[in-house]
Amino acid sequence: MTGSPNNPRINLLGLPKADLEAFVGELGSKPFRARQLMSWLYKRGEADIAKMTDLAKDFRAELVQRAEVVVPEIVKTQIASDGTRKWLLSGGNGQAYEMVYIPEEDRGTLCISSQVGCALDCSFCSTAQQGFNRNLTTAEIVGQVWLANRELGWKVGDDRIITNIVLMGMGEPLANFRAVIPAIRIFLDDLVFDISRRRVTLSTSGLVPQIYKLAEEVNCALAVSLHAPNDELRSQLVPINRKHNIAELLDACWHYLDEQNGRSVTFEYVMLDGVNDQRRHAIELARLLHGKPAKLNLIPFNPFPGTQYRRSPQAVIENFRDELMKKGLIATIRRTRGDDIDAACGQLAGQVTDRTIVRLGSKTFGLQVRA
């Protein structure tokens, strides 16, 4: 196992336990060294191999030659009036991606990115307007949590500052399956952040084949961006729906729960004034999900420059929720956080230059590269 051709050293941050064990095996060490390394990296937040003092000297010397710990570089930090923090992280070559920390009374949620930009083209999302640049590596995905812990001043022995991780930042996590799966494995490892599987949530716009694959690979909570109660409307808002419709998507969700022994899927529903927020939409939505293991999370639309949409008025959002509850659904309204620093859902734009403009059409995810 080696790093890239230009850099023979491997980044320890991107390696799940099994890979780390294989790597220390190559260096002639026993698997318990991998556990020691993980403990240094994640439990103590140590990035300097030379300071990992209970590792045998020879092993440390060998490790310094062959491995390193590279964490994402911070370009900018912003703190909102409600305590929400947003970091802009460098993706090299003028690219940047974002992560957001949302403190609440009983928890701290870190919202992380999986790609620089996004190719899915949802009409109400700011990231989509940026186009797609590239997938993040596993190390960059895990590195976000590592870095946030450091920036938030977390120390060994302290209570966790980050109690929940959500893959709801920039990008479509299931379109970066190969890097996201090992990252989730790392998050769920007991030796890492002590976060239970119900507190790591992957949110997808609905890449159906990848939801089936996900069910075989990891065990985390699933959120799905539904946003409309019928195919006609959903296809306008979330274009991947033209490839995989709502019926197919829901089948995949119930399959996921069966395989994972999960309790429910959270369906995200952005509240767009006059578009999907009428009483008839609530009734249709309740019919669609009635009796199913589903929770509805209503997200007040967060505007960004150039958007054609407006946020539904608060009273409309509350009526919508009440209508769903009357029909027996569990529905909550997501509190909008960090909006004075554009850190709210769908406002993460990062910095995507050199982008590929992607539109619907081709095979894999129904995407066609235009330029």
Catalytic residues: 98, 345
Are 201 and 33 in contact by the 8 Å Cβ rule? The answer is no
Residue number, 275 or 299, with CB nearest to ligand SAH: 299
Nearest distance in Å: CB 131, ligand SAH: 14
Binding of residue 320 to ligand SAH (CB under 6 A): no
What residues are paired with 97 via a beta bridge? 89
Query: According to CB under 6 A, which one of 276, 302, 312, 351 is a site residue for ligand SAH?
Result: 302
Q: Which is nearer to ligand SAH, 36 or 126 (CB)?
A: 126
Near ligand SAH in 75-134, by CB under 6 A: 122, 124-126
By beta-carbon proximity to ligand SAH, the closer residue of 49 and 170 is 170
The C-alpha angle 358, 361, 363, rounded to 5 degrees, equals: 105
**Residues of span 161-190 touching ligand SAH by CB under 6 A:** 168, 172
364's CB contacts (< 8 A; 6+ apart) are none
Cβ–Cβ under 8 Å, residues 93 and 75: no
Nearer residue to ligand SAH within complex by CB, 34 or 237: 237
Smallest gap from residue 24 Cβ to ligand SAH (A): 35
Q: Scanning the structure block, which residue is given the tokens 């949110």?
A: 203
Q: E strand or H helix at 258, and its extent?
A: helix 246-260
The residues near 357 (Cβ < 8 Å, ≥ 6 apart) are: 131, 369, 370, 371
Q: Which is nearer to ligand SAH, 59 or 301 (CB)?
A: 301
- Burial-class residue 99 by CB neighbours within 10 Å (0-12, 13-18, 19+): buried
Residues 270-289 that bind ligand SAH (CB under 6 A): 270
Q: How many other CB atoms are found less than 10 A from the CB of residue 4?
A: 9
How far is 306 from 126, CA to CA, in rounded Å?
9
Binding residues for ligand SAH, how many (CB under 6 A)? 17
Stretch that binds ligand SAH, among 130-138, 182-190, 200-208, 352-360 (CB under 6 A): 200-208
Of residues 168 and 275, the one with the C-beta less far from ligand SAH: 168
Is residue 259 within a helix (H) or strand (E), and if so which, with residue range? helix 246-260
Q: Hey, which residues between 254 and 273 contact ligand SAH (CB under 6 A)?
A: 268, 270
Which residue, 40, 34, 136, is CA-closest to 91?
136
- Residue showing the smallest CB distance to ligand SAH in the complex: 346
Interface positions with ligand SAH (CB under 6 A): 122, 124-126, 168, 172, 203-205, 225, 268, 270, 299, 301-302, 345-346
